[in-house]
Amino acid sequence: MGNPKEIRPTMTLNLEGEPCPYPVVYSLSSMDQLKSGEILEVIADCPQSFKAVPEEALRAGYILICEPVVDGPTIRFYIMKP
């Protein structure tokens, strides 16, 4: 469970207000543009994406480098390209 103290993402994708299915589509498309070892920060507030984004990132072969960070109705994910 324990999250690391510090994460330095390479890119940020702010998807606040974006409804389904765009958070998943945007996140996965953005991951495609990253290089190996780079980290994408995704900020989302579409409740469905709370589960869909991390689960689909894993299914696509990416790594979640920490537990999703919840801040009330908003959530942040840190996804790394292996």
Partner 1 sequence: MQKRGFFFSDVANLFNHFWNPMLTTVIAGVLSALYFGVTGTSWAVTGEFTRFAGHLFPIIGIDPHSLTYIDKVMKLEGGPFDRIDGWVVIGMFSGALFSALLGGNFKLRVPKQRRRLVQGFFGGIIAGFGARLAMGCNLGAFFTGIPQFSFHTWLFMLGMAGGTYIGVKVALHPVLLGKPKLEKAVPAHRSLESKKSSKSSLQPILGMVVVVFSLALIAWQIATGHAKLALAGLFGIAFGLLIERGQICFTSAFRDLWITGRATMAKALAIGIIAATICTAVIISLGVPQKITWAGPGALIGGILFGIGIVIAGGCETGWMYRAMEGQIQFVIVGIGNIVGAGLLAWGWDHWGLFNLMVKEWPKVNLVESWGWSGALLGTTGFMLLWYIFSDYWEKRVRYVTQKSGQIVLMHGEVERR
Active-site pick, 10, 14, 20, 25? 20
Q: How many residues bind partner 1 (CB under 8 A)?
A: 51
55 counts as binding partner 1 under rule CB under 8 A? yes
Distance CA 73, CA 82 (A): 29
- What is the closest distance, in whole angstroms, from the C-beta atom of residue 49 to partner 1 in the complex? 10
Find the length of the chain. Answer: 82
37 counts as binding partner 1 under rule CB under 8 A? no
Which residues are catalytically annotated?
A: 20
